[in-house]
Amino acid sequence: MTITLPAFTPLEESLFLTLCCRVLDNRSAQPILADAMADEIVRTLDYDYEALHISTDLMLNATLRAKKLDEVTSRFLARHPNAVGLDLGAGLDTRVVRLDPPSTVDWYDVDLPAVASARERLIPDRPNAHVVGADVREPDWLDAIPSGRPAMIVADGLMGFLSQDEFVSLLNRIISHFPGGEMVFNSYTPFTIWVAHHAPGTKTVADLVKFPGFKDPHEPESWNPKLELIEEILLSRDLAKVPSKLRLYYRLQAHSRSWSRKGTIVLHFRF
């Protein structure tokens, strides 16, 4: 059965770029995420993913970073089975299905109201998985999230669409809401922000990118004294499933931290 969604704004529509990267990964010879539900969603919507002209490099970056975010999150949930998990700007990502957290974890997928409604139509309900339709820049939505438990915060592809002030105040609100936890998000340097503005693969979102980027992975520690960098994860160092024609490039990149930072970076913090 095909489902037709109400028209999204260009900002909401950005979810299809990452979703379709996961679809292409699922159809590749050696999938990194093997997200069959992403594929099913795109088929149900009869979405024309070919119109996005997704390159192999973009697909790899989006799926490798999602895998890293999954791994960090999964380790945290294993250590804190009473945790609250938040996926900020979740789009139609099926992370909660991939992670399959125990029913003692409460998981919240947060996105703008139109996207939240679409999630509810397309992604089957799970016990203790909740969808929140809200603009993360607004303060009120956090009131509905339990506050006395360790929290794992994931933001995959959100940061670029917020200004630095918006992102910093979002992190500060989250940090003061919970007793402690971890957060993991893909980050941008000024160079990768420049690339997002100019690369053909991200043409559909170029005008929506507001974040300026920062070079030093420790910079967020200056935004809130509770934030402490656990790890800067460079995707060029995870080559197991990279197709051989791109592996040499990634392998060369992996030798240099500053060159690796010209690609996708995942930052992992505790607070």
Separation CA 79–CA 140 (nearest Å): 29
Q: Out of 48, 100, 120, 135, which residue is the one contacting ligand SAM (CB under 6 A)? A: 135
- Residues 166-195: x/- map of binding to ligand SAM (CB under 6 A)? ------------------------------
Is there a contact between 172 and 105 (Cβ–Cβ < 8 Å)? no
Query: Measured from the CB of residue 145, what is the shortest distance to ligand SAM in angstroms?
Result: 14
Q: In this chain, which stretch among 41-49, 131-139, 142-150, 211-219 interacts with ligand SAM, using CB under 6 A?
A: 131-139
Please identify, using beta-carbon distances, which residue of 157 and 201 lies nearer to ligand SAM.
Answer: 157
Least separation, in Å, of the C-beta of 255 and ligand SAM? 29
137 is a site residue for ligand SAM (CB under 6 A)? yes
> Would you count residue 86 as binding ligand SAM (CB under 6 A)?
no
In the complex, the smallest distance separating the C-beta of residue 191 from ligand SAM, rounded to whole angstroms, is 19
Q: Quick one: which of 23, 53, 56 has its CA closest to 37?
A: 23
- Residue 106, interface with ligand SAM (CB under 6 A)? no
* Cβ proximity to ligand SAM, 83 vs 115, nearer residue: 115
Q: Does 238 bind ligand SAM (CB under 6 A)?
A: no
Asked whether position 11 contacts ligand SAM by CB under 6 A, the answer is yes
Binding stretches for ligand SAM (CB under 6 A)? 11-12, 14-15, 17-19, 89-91, 93, 111-112, 115, 135-137, 156-158, 161
